[in-house]
Amino acid sequence: MKRNILFLFVLIAFSCNDNGKTNNNNGQNRPDEPKNITYSIVNSFPHDTSSFTQGLLFYKGEMYESTGNEGNNRNQILKVDLKTGKNQLLASIDRSKYFGEGITILRDTVYQLTWKEKTVFTYTLKGFKKIKEFHINTEGWGITTDGKDLIVSDGSSNLYFYEPGTFQLIKKQEVTESGSLSYNLNELEYIDGFIYANQWQYPYILKIDPANGKVVGKADLNDMWNRVKIKDPEADVPNGIAYDPTSKMLYVTGKLWPELYEIRLGQ
């Protein structure tokens, strides 16, 4: 009887181990899918339809926007009146030489990327006086800060962490979604320990864990984008994420959009 019980126990143990191997082969242990991030539109505000938005942010209660486009004079940094959508020009760059991209502000210093020119401009916040230029080895798309380092995207699956004073590269972090590389990372915003990124040409905002590069959450802006295209068929892709740490609200817009949205993210 004991021998039969022992045999049965061994058989069960072997079966469990075998099933475990089979489950692994069937992909049961694949990386987790990112959580769906729901949102609700709290308010909408007018947005300048001539603004080909490259960067958007709140800093000390003010909203700033960077724009850039080829063949026009809209390579600018603007202060935006949220309620009216009216802009105050703060700085512009030579359109014949540069294509303006994302901006961020760290300790009252403004950092502005350029696209293929791989040049970073810095300005004082007061008076927007140009301080210096830096060179980077990649294209410049989106930029944000965690309060210590500068974090840059270049349209690939990589995020680059730079030392602010020298723009020396600290590290490069690959971004993955469900185990695969996540491409087209564009405008960035750092919120409560996570990096939020527009995915160029797609209606998604990705929530990225900077510690490992994994996409842990994903918001689908398709309904919002469709609403915008009904209002203005000339509107381009979603691009622009700004977080107000005081109100805890998120603001999103896009290139040439007629509206900017105040949204509340779900849990």
Q: Which residue(s) pair with 190 in the sheet?
A: 195
Q: So what's the pLDDT on residue 208?
A: 98
Give the residue among 240, 267, 233 at the shortest CA–CA distance from 255. Answer: 240
Is-contact 74 85, C-beta < 8 A? no
pLDDT above 70 covers a percentage of the chain that reads 87
| pLDDT confidence bin for 71, thresholds 50/70/90 | low
Instruction: List the domain boundaries for the chain.
Output: 37-265
How many residues in the chain? 267
Q: How many helices (H) and strands (E) does the chain have?
A: 2, 23
Mean pLDDT of 129-143: 97
Q: Is residue 148 scored above 70 in pLDDT?
A: yes
Separation CA 204–CA 219 (nearest Å): 6
Task: Give every CB contact of residue 44 below 8 A, 6+ residues apart in sequence.
Answer: 259, 260, 261, 262
pTM of this prediction?
0.87
The superfamily in CATH containing domain 37-265 is YVTN repeat-like/Quinoprotein amine dehydrogenase (2.130.10.10)
Specify the higher pLDDT residue, 102 or 97.
102
Q: What is the pLDDT of residues 13-42, one digit of tens each?
A: 433 443 333 334 444 445 589 999 999 999
Distances (CA, A) of 210 to 186, 194, 216: 15, 6, 10
Q: So what's the pLDDT on residue 104?
A: 98
Q: So what's the pLDDT on residue 96?
A: 85
